[in-house]
Amino acid sequence: MKFIDEALVTVQSGDGGKGCVSFRREKYVPRGGPDGGDGGKGGNVVIKTSPRKRTLYHLRFKRHFRAKNGASGLGKRKTGRNGADATIEVPAGTLVFDTDTDHLICDLVTAHETYIIARGGRGGQGNARFKTSTNRAPRFAQPGASGEILNLKLELKLLADIGIIGLPNAGKSTLLSKISAASPKIADYPFTTLTPNLGVVHTEWAEPFVVADIPGLIEGAHQGAGLGTHFLKHIERTRMLLHLIDASTVDPHNPLSAFQTVNSELCQHNRALNTKPQLIVLNKLDIIDTQKAVDAVRTALDRDDIMTISAATGQGLDQLKSKLVNMLDAENGD
């Protein structure tokens, strides 16, 4: 169920600034003494989880991150400016490994979590720091400490943003194959999908997101029928649900049979699943005489956000992707 995405990056924190060698030079103040300031601290490299990021795709184009160096100290005991930090944004669920040692450095699992992966070098002390009773005019200062250089592997164990649920043969695998580069096994018999499939959906207007094709749920799934308990656990770990219904099998006299069967199993497995945002999508609009079924479902549910598509022909898929992006953005508070 876990979608593994990896990226290799090199990070370098900033060097500390050099301490300053300076002596006070003012009119009528002979032998003013040393007044060299300290160098500024080098910038850190920080990894931060962001709800706006759903994959590590953006790190394929930028693999080197370097923080700014600290500025050198100045006369009059002025400390140099600290170097600016470099921030790497990643999705929650990212593990960070040191590629040289295979050591797990951190596991970032919550939104807006930060971790300093490479600390900036300490700034060098100016000559004012070294004045003593026996050395009143030190003519030396410290150089700044060097920053750290690390080669990292970022591994994303990302749980799907959206889980596609529904009865067997609702067209979940076909839909996943049409909106992503995933290639699930597709055939017209029950339980074609025996393990969840994941696909990354790319659009021209938004951050990519991950969709899971959850194997079909049947009545009694919460008790283990059809490996139901195994599949239901995966649904717990998705952020939203796309409830796909085969419009060609809807009985206009009992239009909510498939919808109620699946949602009943969700509720009996874990009541919290009913609180997840759920988009209802009627599929197979390319089959003749499905409009009556669509109208019956809309009337029975009394919802105006029910979408209709044909995964086989591509009808309505752009509108569906746009709707899913908007729902994810709304959940993030954008």
Q: Is 26 helix (H, G, I), strand (E, B) or coil?
A: strand
Residue 44: its pLDDT value, please? 98
Pair type for strands 162-165 and 240-246: parallel
Summarised one tens digit per residue, pLDDT across range 206-260 is: 888 888 887 755 444 334 444 334 456 667 768 899 999 999 989 988 999 989 9
Average pLDDT, the chain: 85
pLDDT at 14 over 80: yes
Q: Residue 29 forms beta bridges with which residues? A: 26
Distance CA 138, CA 54 (A): 55
Q: State the helix-helix crossing angle for 172-179 and 317-332, rounded to 10 degrees.
A: 80
Instruction: Give me 328's structure tokens.
Output: 């994810």
pLDDT at 1 over 50: no
CATH number at 3-157: 2.70.210.12
Mean pLDDT across 94-113? 92
pLDDT at 5 over 80: no
Distance CA 163, CA 309 (A): 17
Taking the domains of the chain in order of start, what are their residue ranges? 3-157, 160-332
Residue 310 banded pLDDT, cuts 50, 70, 90: very high
pLDDT at 191 over 50: no
CATH, domain 160-332, list 3.40.50.300, 3.50.50.60, 2.40.110.10, 3.20.20.80: 3.40.50.300
pLDDT at 124 over 90: yes
Q: Which residue has the higher pLDDT, 18 or 92?
A: 18
Q: How far is CA 200 from the centre of its chain?
A: 12
Domains 3-157 and 160-332 share a fold: no
Residue 228: its pLDDT value, please? 39
Q: Residue 87 forms beta bridges with which residues? A: 46
- Is-contact 59 50, C-beta < 8 A? no
Query: 148 — phi, psi (to 5°)?
Result: -95, 145
Summarised one tens digit per residue, pLDDT across range 276-287 is: 899 999 999 988
